[in-house]
Structures are given as C-alpha cells and as structure tokens.
Amino acid sequence: MSRSRILAAATVIASAMTLNAAAFAQSGEVNVYSYRESKLVQPLIDAFTKDTSIKVNVVSASSGLEQRIKSEGANSPADVLLTVDIGRIDEAVQAGVTQPIKSEVVEKIVPAQYRDPDGHWAGISMRARVIYASKERVKQDAITYEELADPKWKGKICIRSGQHIYNNALFAAYVAHHGEEKAEEWLRGVKANLAQKPSGGDRETARDVAAGKCDIGIGNTYYWALMMNNDPDKKPWAEATKVILPTFAGGGTHVNLSGVLLAKNAPNRANAIKLIEWLVGEHAQHLYADSNYEYPVRASVAVNPTIAGYGKLNPDTLPIAKIAASRKAASTLVDKVGFDN
C-alpha cells in the first residue's frame, strides 16, 4: 500500500473514532434516584432516552433515598433525585446531598416561587390539595381552608394521617400564612370536625365520602382524575364526588410539587442537566399533564381536560421554600393537638 493510501486510511479511522467518541459523549448514561412510582416515571424515562439516546438507570424507593445518597458519599452514583413532595425536597437539601442546578433554561421556564432561591431544586409539575365533596350532600362549590374548622362540618370530614407528607405540606402552608398559634387553633377545629380517625390514602377518602361516612375529604387533584379515567373499580367513588378548589382566605389554592434535584457528587453532571432541562420541556410537560394528571410548570402547556374541569386554579403565591421552612412546626402541632388519635 502506498504512503498516500496509508495516510488516507489512517485519516478515515481517526475520523470514525472521533465521531464514535462524540456520539458516546452525547449519549452516555444518567443515574436517577426516584421517589415516584415506577409506573409513573417510566414513560418519562423512555421518552427521554428516545429523544436524547441517553440511557437512564433508575433506583426507586418510597423513603430514605437522601440518606442513601449521603451514606454513599463522594462515590454515590446518583446524578438526579426525583421527588413527589416538598417534604422530600427539603429533606434532601437538609441532608446536604444536592448542588445548585445552574440552568438558564430552568430559570426561564420554572416560576421563581417553584424554585429554590439557592438553586438546589426546581418544581417540574404541580398538584393541588383540594376537597372531594359529596355531590348529593354538599351544595356549595367554594370553600376556604380556614372553613374546614367551622363547626358546621362537625363529623363530616375525612382525611388521611396529619403526618403524611401531603397534609404536612398543607398544614405548613397554614402555619406560614397565619402563624403557629392560629394554626394550632385551626387544627383543633379540623380535628373536632373529623368523622373518623385519620387513615388510608386519598383514594380511600373519596371512597368514604361516596359511602356516606363523611361529606367532604381532602385529597390531591390527580387521584380523582386517575379514579375517574384509569380505574374502573374506583370510578364510582369519583362519580359520587366533585372536586372543589379551596383557597386560603384572601389567597389562592395550596399547591405542592414534584421536584428535581441535582446530586452533590453527580458523576454524569452534564447528562443530569440535560435530563433536568428536558423535564421542563414541552414533551415531558405534556406527559405530566396527560399521563399523570398534574399541572405543568411550563406555562405554554395546557392542563389536562379532566383537571381543567375542576375550575381555574389560582395557586397560592406563597413561595414553596417558605412552606418547607414551616414543615417541622406543622408536624409538632399535629402531635400536640393529637390530630391522628
């Protein structure tokens, strides 16, 4: 082979190696620790991989992920943590296992009240804590959170444990709005109005309203839609109830977040940022809206028709970070008033 042919062949091989290396760098992997149920997160993971060719490795658990990342230390494989509540978000930040996301894309798309002031987390979808009311026995279509302590509801309210992360967030929002003293008084009033000991989950709350055990219950917006559209066995519970979007007096409806955090020692940081930015993009936000029945954080993405049927959501303007700061006080008050007893 002539010298010119050898050089040409070498150039072709070098070019091919460069292209392969570039392709690998653009794909690679990202490791996700997730509090979301596998069946809910998998469609997002599959879509991300299809759009980017980046392989996603997922570790799912219902608790303890931030402690796992902490115990793994500098060698932790975690790149991204997906959460289902501001409680999990706050716990991860307090555990010191996150770092600022630093993304102009995220800052542009996600409203400031749904982002950590220091950049350690961002909301990627929203859900509201609302009322499931009996269509037969409840005639009013508007209610305030404060009104839940009104004696007119005595023996008519069903709710899951006051220490559950969803209720803890709502109670923390009440503390942030009104202070601990008034929040304690309110919690005592709500407890006095309970039809039964707090138990079960949000679906069971709808079940008990449908069965006549109570007139109103407290639940997340997406559970009602899932029962109505995706679960024939539980559809009668949704059909017997209506969703009311409550508000704080003079304010808006309490919303909670599904959030994303960047792990402190993320070994695949570039791909982690790509995933985080993809999660607030058009494709992912449509999946959150239409598959999970959550409110998108991206303003250009429409709310699912079932969720829109509840009425226009006017979210509480209180920054999520301020609510998270009141979580401990809310938990202490729940025990102090014996809410779950």
Type of residue found at 172: A
Domain annotation covers residue 306: no
* 45 and 133 co-located in one domain: no
Q: pLDDT at position 36, please?
A: 85
Residue 21 reports pLDDT greater than 60:
no
Instruction: Return the CATH number at 191.
Output: 3.40.190.10
**pLDDT band for position 11 (cuts 50, 70, 90):** very low
For residues 284 and 328, membership in a common domain is answered with no
Same domain (yes/no): 10, 117: yes
Q: Does one domain contain both 280 and 185?
A: no
Which residue segment(s) compose the domain that 201 sits in? 127-254+313-336
C-alpha span between 119 and 117 (Å, rounded): 6
Query: Are 187 and 321 members of one domain?
Result: yes
Q: Percentage of the chain surpassing pLDDT 70?
A: 92
The verdict on residue 200 lying in a domain is yes
Identify the pLDDT of residue 3. 43
Binding-site residue numbers are 222-223
Same domain, 132 and 242: yes
The count of other CB atoms within 10 Å of the CB of residue 179 is: 12
180 and 117 inside one domain: no
Do 190 and 282 have their domain in common? Answer: no
Determine the number of helices (DSSP H) and then strands (DSSP E) in the chain. 15, 10
Beta bridge partners of 125: 258, 296
Q: What is the mean pLDDT of residues 103-120?
A: 95
Residues 296 and 289 sit within 8 Å (Cβ to Cβ): yes
Is the residue at 307 inside a domain?
no
Domain check: are 21 and 169 in the same one? no
Return the exposure string of 65-79: e unless at least 16 CB atoms fall within 10 Å of the residue's CB, then b: bbebbeeeeeebbbb
* Residue 41 within any structural domain of the chain: yes
> Does residue 159 have a pLDDT over 70?
yes
The total of structural domains in the chain comes to 2
| Res 27: pLDDT | 58
Binding residues for Fe cation: 222-223
In a domain, 86, yes or no: yes
Q: Are 180 and 329 a contacting pair, CB within 8 Å?
A: yes
For the stretch 213-263, pLDDT in tens is 999 999 999 999 999 999 999 999 999 999 999 999 999 999 999 999 999
The answer on 60 and 137 residing in a single domain is no
Q: Which residues pair with 216 in a beta bridge?
A: 133, 157
pLDDT at 9: 41
The residues near 62 (Cβ < 8 Å, ≥ 6 apart) are 35
267 and 205 inside one domain: no
Identify whether 56 is part of a domain.
yes
Q: Which residue has the higher pLDDT, 18 or 285?
A: 285
For the chain, the C-alpha Rg in angstroms (whole number) is 23
In a shared domain, residues 194 and 329: yes
pLDDT digits (tens, 9 = 90+) for 56-111: 999 999 899 999 999 999 999 999 999 989 999 999 999 999 999 999 999 999 99
Is there a contact between 36 and 60 (Cβ–Cβ < 8 Å)? yes
The answer to whether residue 320 sits within a structural domain is yes
Q: What is the pTM of this model?
A: 0.87
**Element at 327 (helix H, strand E):** helix 327-336
H or E element at residue 255? strand 255-263
232 in any annotated domain: yes
